[in-house]
Structure 1
């Protein structure tokens, strides 16, 4: 079905997708973009946790430069990568990026779009777009500001700084570091922690967290009104009260 992706885990509560262009260090091509849109179709229709990973020693080295060189103004306005990453960020259930090795350019921006980033101890993050005469236009210019703050984001985007795994952890760009051989298991462990929670509550929480400040608290109250009528709320609260009464 896919030529640049591998489905390495397909479970009731999660889908694990591995980027698979090892010959070009998982460069993000137009075909890969289309295939990831197909993944989004599946997860929008049937919400599950998404785990995204790359190959050994490289998450994604960026956009496919051979393709990127030929793109013109109309392609930029089409937002080929940025609209995909917006869609990934907006998936109903959380997205976990498990990053081993290099995450550069568009590959880093794909990781920034995830809800959780965990990494191997050899991971590196950078946005070298300005060295190629372009900008990081698929989310880094605003997501990175939110994730690590303006001073560090400017070092990365305007001065070419590449973060090591430890620096990314200290900046809270990633929340966990693991040996490369343990990274997949760590991603599943994080997914396990999410999966024991109520899926509908997680979906509403994620949506409310992304709402503009001006929509709060109305958006919170509306979501809570839906959840207050859900069967899961009554079942989980009854179980809690029963456990406490024992």
Structure 2
């Protein structure tokens, strides 16, 4: 059931909790889940919680749309000082930096800020109706909430440049071919598929999962030393001893 962070159906982020995961549903269906300041504030609240109590996060949109972009009515009123505050950027950085994996389950539009929120996830899955991209230059702005540095890491510099400079919106098949999403499911199966991924994550050692995410997000110059230090900590972990002993015991049967 939705809890106190989500509040009533009028709240833009509906939260459901399980012991090992949280599902956050973007819910502004009257504007195709456009990301406004209230939704950003709710994301910050959720991130604060998950920073203190790490769990896998599933992000999904309501009513067949992930997020159609930033709220243009709000965006139109913003000026230089607002840009420098990085309103969406800071929230998406926080999502990206969460200790445990983030899964974006994308149906329909994931455009502009909606796409950038999806890029901040560790794992992206979608539906055949997915449409994802950054049309910001057509509105006289740039994709400044992560696309210019995250998208090249995901799809490569040449494809990212094409998307960002032309405003090209990818369909589902192209998004899979380019590695922007890993797999497709029918809309009615999308959330269940995200939970299946979360189930696989939950079967693994949480600390090893967290350290793997840390290593994945580290700058190239930090490798391989960061892996060696993280592995050194895990080699002293009681959970490593327990899991390896159980594995060896199972092979005797």
Cα shift at 1:28? 0.4
The 1-side partners of 2:62 and 2:173 are apart by: 20
Distance in structure 1 (CA, Å) of the matches to 2:179 and 2:51: 28
Residue 38 of structure 2 corresponds to residue 31 of structure 1: yes
| In structure 2, distance between residues paired with 1:226 and 1:38 | 30
Answering whether residue 172 of structure 2 is matched by residue 198 of structure 1, we say: no
C-alpha displacement at 1:233, in angstroms?
0.4
2:13 corresponds to which residue?
A: 5
Q: Paired residue for 2:54? A: 47
**Structure 1 residues 38-117: aligned runs within 5 Å:** 38-117=45-124
Q: Does 1:215 align with 2:222?
A: yes
CA distance in 2, matches of 1:242, 1:57: 47
Partner of 2:183: 176
* Equivalent-residue separation in structure 1 for 2:147 and 2:233 (angstroms): 34
Q: Separation in 2 of the partners of 1:205 and 1:29?
A: 32
Q: Secondary structure at the match of 1:17?
A: strand
Deviation digits for residues 96-120 of structure 1 (CA, Å, limit 9, x no counterpart)? 0000100000000000000000001
Could you tell me which runs of 5 or more consecutive residues in structure 2 were left unpaired when the two chains were aligned: none
Shift of 1:226: 1.1
Deviations 1:75-113 (A, max 9, x none): 111110011111101100000000010000000000000
TM-score normalised by length of structure 1 = 0.98
Given the alignment, which residue of 214, 230, 242 partners 1:235? 242
Higher mean C-alpha deviation, range 142-151 or range 88-97: 142-151
Any runs of at least 4 consecutive aligned residues in structure 1 with deviations exceeding 6 A, and if so which?
none
Determine whether 1:118 maps to 2:125. yes
Alignment gaps of 5+ in structure 1: none
CA drift of 1:222 comes to 1.1
User: Aligned to 2:126, what secondary structure does the other structure show?
Assistant: strand
Counterpart of 1:226 (choices 207, 210, 233) is: 233
* 1:56/1:101 contact within 8 Å kept: no
Aligned residues: 245
The normalised TM-score by structure 2 is: 0.95
Cα-to-partner distance string for 1:206-235 (whole Å, 9 max, x where unaligned)? 101211122222211111111111111010
**RMSD in angstroms over aligned alpha carbons?**
0.9
